[in-house]
C-alpha cells in the first residue's frame, strides 16, 4: 500500500488535468477490476478469446483510470473497449442468450450516451455515476454471455 499511496501523490500538481475529480477517478478505477470476474469465468469455461479480451480490457481501464487525463492511455482504453465490444457482439450471435446480452449492451450504451451528454453539460458527478452504470451493465452482459452456450472457435 505505501507504493499505491506514493503513486497517487506523484501527480498531485497535475490535478487540474484530470477529466473527473480524483475521488471519482478512484471509484472508476475500483470498478475497472470487475471484468476480472468475467475473465475468470470465461477462462474456466474454455472461452480463451473472451478471457484474453477481459484481461486486456481490465488492464487498459486500470491504466487509464489511475490518472485519467486525455492522451495515449485514454485512446488505448477506448480502442480496447471498442475491439472488445465488437468481438463480443459478433460472438454473441451464436449464443443461446444473445437477446439477454444485447439487452444489457443496450442499457450500457444508453448509460454511456447519457453520461457523455451530462459530462459535456458540466454535470461531471452525474456523468461519472452513469459511466459506472456502463461498467455494471457491460459486466453483467459479458458474464451472461460467458455462462451461455456460445459456439466454440475451432
Helices (H) and strands (E) in the chain, counts: 7, 0
Model's pTM, two decimal places?
0.86
Q: What is the DSSP letter of 102?
A: H
Contacts of 41 (CB under 8 A, 6+ apart): 143, 146, 147
The SS3 of residue 69 is coil
Q: What is the DSSP letter of 123?
A: -
Given this model, what pLDDT does residue 1 score?
45
Per-residue pLDDT tens for 33-70? 999 999 999 999 999 999 999 999 999 999 999 999 99
Is the pLDDT assigned to residue 14 strictly greater than 80?
no
Q: CA-CA-CA-CA torsion for 43, 105, 139, 23, nearest 10 degrees?
A: 140
Amino acid at each position: 500500500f505505501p507504493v499505491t499511496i506514493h503513486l497517487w501523490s506523484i501527480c498531485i500538481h497535475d490535478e487540474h488535468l484530470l477529466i473527473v475529480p480524483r475521488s471519482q477517478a478512484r471509484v472508476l478505477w475500483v470498478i475497472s477490476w470487475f471484468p476480472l470476474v468475467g475473465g475468470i469465468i470465461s477462462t474456466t469455461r474454455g472461452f480463451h478469446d473472451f478471457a484474453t479480451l477481459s484481461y486486456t480490457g481490465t488492464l487498459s481501464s486500470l491504466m487509464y483510470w489511475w490518472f485519467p487525463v486525455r492522451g495515449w492511455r485514454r485512446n488505448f482504453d477506448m480502442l480496447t473497449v471498442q475491439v472488445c465490444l465488437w468481438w463480443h457482439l459478433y460472438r454473441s450471435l451464436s449464443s443461446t442468450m444473445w437477446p439477454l446480452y444485447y439487452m444489457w449492451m443496450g442499457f450500457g450504451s444508453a448509460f454511456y450516451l447519457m453520461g457523455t451528454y451530462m459530462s459535456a453539460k458540466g454535470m461531471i458527478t452525474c456523468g461519472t455515476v452513469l459511466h459506472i452504470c456502463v461498467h455494471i451493465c457491460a459486466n453483467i452482459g459479458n458474464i451472461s454471455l460467458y455462462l451461455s452456450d456460445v459456439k466454440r472457435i475451432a
